[in-house]
Structure 1
């Protein structure tokens, strides 16, 4: 983190910066700790780098909203949001010191921690799993118990572990499964190359519902598919989008720890904005370079909100039972080659509610709704191709 006198940046400049970073960023060196996390009396902003795990889209709307609405600036921060797209592994960028915070799924980082990364989950933004396994209605695949011997689609990159955690919970033989590597679309499934395709509630499932069924010449309908939700239909659900910080810096650098709290406060306000203004939040992500059409983006915003809100303990609070279920699933999971994700419990430093709880306490004093108890999703009508 460094200090800057710049007070913000226009959306166009932000998008250009993100594009340049996506094209050429993996290095750039570590970030320096600030002398004073709140800018002291100089009026300067503390520069912070946030690494996303994918390209700009409503899955990350809260972070973009925090920039757009000035919430980071209110906390004395200037945040640079760095997309990935598969070329940057978020937890690696964080462990290498290239960024200050990163967004990544918990099981993926558990594997990195066992391999030597020293990282801490400081806010569990997604409280629920959004992963689905989708098959045709007449396929006979109605539960995880039907996976054995089937062609199961997955994107890889650690996204497959929820499949194997669910199979392990059912006592199934994962070596009987043929994992078919999917692109981040449903083409292989629609072409009949996959029996049960991986899909996120907020993305690939929508891609199916905005596709024309050649037999009816109308959009596919939910009844055309069997949908297995890892959250609702299995005991293999794993925690997903979390905010990760550098453990050693949290423990040794007071300025970094203070900045973490300020960062989380702004993020929470960003997600509260996205909850209360889903249409505006979807427009913000479109303006930051999302390649999806407007109805798809709004669907994604709505479904992402469902994974966050309501949050009884407050957005970002790590539920110990859900954490342990993720760890137990990661320990039990064995992939189609017989490999394990992790072989031992992660250290106690792998998660902490200290920083998010401080942020929530301060926000509640400011009158911010951090639980979304009254949250109600909107109705979104998908259009062909997500337009």
Structure 2
């Protein structure tokens, strides 16, 4: 096993400024008179969800009258089924997965967006960099064949002839790039580039979101029924998330320390988690967005609809419901 395989990840086609005391680190502490709900995460526990851990550890959900269980996802634990079945009140999904589920009849709405900028990226080495989509022409790109629609969408958005790019099927690993088998990799900006950085290997990361690839990631989804009949609980859960992620933004190192302490058996490397937290920050709080955590605009929805169409997903703006965030920020 190469040193880069430790970050093999997910389904790939996810207030306050004081330091956080660790306190009781159980995932679902018993709270008297609290309403039991679950938040279904999209992947295994890691700093990717640190804002949620802060919300739980600092009692932000307790203040909303909620006892929130944080259920991990994983390669065999998709987000959407437990939300449809009512085992989770809210799930952390993505616009492409949510739209696919809706096409199959799932009654979902996207009610918040944690990552305003999609984390898909093209990683390359400084000696042969890919800094813009046009640089892909003549390159060998390592990727999963299942992600071909993602590359096709990027090329379509930037008038790049995909026929000029050689697709090389690879495992989700930085080794093919480091070893010279490919010229670049399709990956998340927060994992394989981090794996290389941990090995002191410099890389160039071209974020696809900076070149028109607009797909909301790490989105909050809920069913239409839950929005109608359990609105106060959904709003309370989102309000806790908003506060937790504000604290994360204020101090990613403290958020990392909390994550590692809460999951001592998860094999989380503190240095790697710290760097992932740092690189995740501009995806969740991009300076140009000028909107609060979770918020999405009509313009970003329109851009998502355009990109999703290139991925073969026909959706309308009705998939997104901003009214719950409006309730959150009204207070």
Determine the C-alpha separation between the residues in 1 that align with 2:151 and 2:184.
11
Contact 2:111 2:222 in 1 (8 A): yes
SS in 2 for 1:263: helix
Query: Residues 150 and 117 (structure 1 numbering): CA distance in 2 closer, same or farther, change over 3 Å?
Result: farther
1:61-102 per-residue CA deviation (whole Å, 9 max, x = no partner) reads: 111111111111111111111112211111233223332111
SS in 2 for 1:352: coil
Determine the C-alpha separation between the residues in 1 that align with 2:47 and 2:152.
27
User: How many residue pairs are counted as aligned between the two chains?
Assistant: 303
Partner of 2:5: none
Determine the C-alpha separation between the residues in 2 that align with 1:104 and 1:152.
26
Determine the C-alpha separation between the residues in 2 that align with 1:203 and 1:106.
20
1:7-64 per-residue CA deviation (whole Å, 9 max, x = no partner) reads: xx942x439x9xxxxxxxxxxxxxxxxxxxxxxxx95111111111111111111111
Partner of 2:227: 250
Determine the C-alpha separation between the residues in 2 that align with 1:271 and 1:61.
8
Query: Residues 138 and 277 (structure 1 numbering): CA distance in 2 closer, same or farther, change over 3 Å?
Result: closer
Q: Residues 135-284 of structure 1 correspond to what in structure 2 (within 5 A)?
A: 135-139=124-128, 141-147=130-136, 150-154=139-143, 161-174=149-162, 177-178=166-167, 180-183=169-172, 185-211=173-199, 219-221=200-202, 225-232=203-210, 234-251=211-228, 253=229, 256-284=230-258
Determine the C-alpha separation between the residues in 2 that align with 1:149 and 1:166.
16
Matching of residue 357 in structure 1 with residue 331 in structure 2: no
Contact 1:107 1:161 in 2 (8 A): no
Unaligned 5+ segments in structure 1 are: 1-8, 18-41, 212-218, 334-340, 363-387
1:235-265 per-residue CA deviation (whole Å, 9 max, x = no partner) reads: 12322111111123323x1xx1111111111
Q: Residues 267-306 of structure 1 correspond to what in structure 2 (within 5 A)?
A: 267-289=241-263, 290-306=266-282
Per the TM alignment, residue 141 of structure 1 is displaced from its structure 2 partner at its CA by 4.1
Matching of residue 317 in structure 1 with residue 295 in structure 2: yes
Contact 2:305 2:316 in 1 (8 A): no
Query: Residues 181 and 138 (structure 1 numbering): CA distance in 2 closer, same or farther, change over 3 Å?
Result: same
Determine the C-alpha separation between the residues in 1 that align with 2:168 and 2:39.
32
Out of 97, 106, 129, the position equivalent to 2:95 is 106
Contact 1:163 1:236 in 2 (8 A): no
Contact 1:94 1:245 in 2 (8 A): yes
Query: Residues 288 and 316 (structure 1 numbering): CA distance in 2 closer, same or farther, change over 3 Å?
Result: same
Contact 1:119 1:349 in 2 (8 A): no
Determine the C-alpha separation between the residues in 1 that align with 2:187 and 2:152.
15
1:153-181 per-residue CA deviation (whole Å, 9 max, x = no partner) reads: 34577x66543321111234546652524
Greater shift in the superposed pair: 302-311 or 136-145 = 136-145
Which protein is bigger by CA-based radius of gyration? 1
Matching of residue 14 in structure 1 with residue 2 in structure 2: no
Q: So what's the TM-score if we normalise by structure 1?
A: 0.71
Contact 1:62 1:274 in 2 (8 A): yes
Query: Residues 161 and 125 (structure 1 numbering): CA distance in 2 closer, same or farther, change over 3 Å?
Result: farther
Contact 1:58 1:304 in 2 (8 A): no
Per the TM alignment, residue 210 of structure 1 is displaced from its structure 2 partner at its CA by 1.3
SS in 1 for 2:61: helix
1:200-246 per-residue CA deviation (whole Å, 9 max, x = no partner) reads: 332221111111xxxxxxx223xxx44322122x1123221111111
Q: So what's the TM-score if we normalise by structure 2?
A: 0.82
Query: Residues 179 and 361 (structure 1 numbering): CA distance in 2 closer, same or farther, change over 3 Å?
Result: farther
Determine the C-alpha separation between the residues in 1 that align with 2:145 and 2:239.
33
What do you get for the CA RMSD once the two structures are aligned?
2.6
Query: Residues 262 and 143 (structure 1 numbering): CA distance in 2 closer, same or farther, change over 3 Å?
Result: same
Contact 1:279 1:298 in 2 (8 A): yes
Contact 2:93 2:221 in 1 (8 A): yes
Greater shift in the superposed pair: 88-97 or 320-329 = 88-97
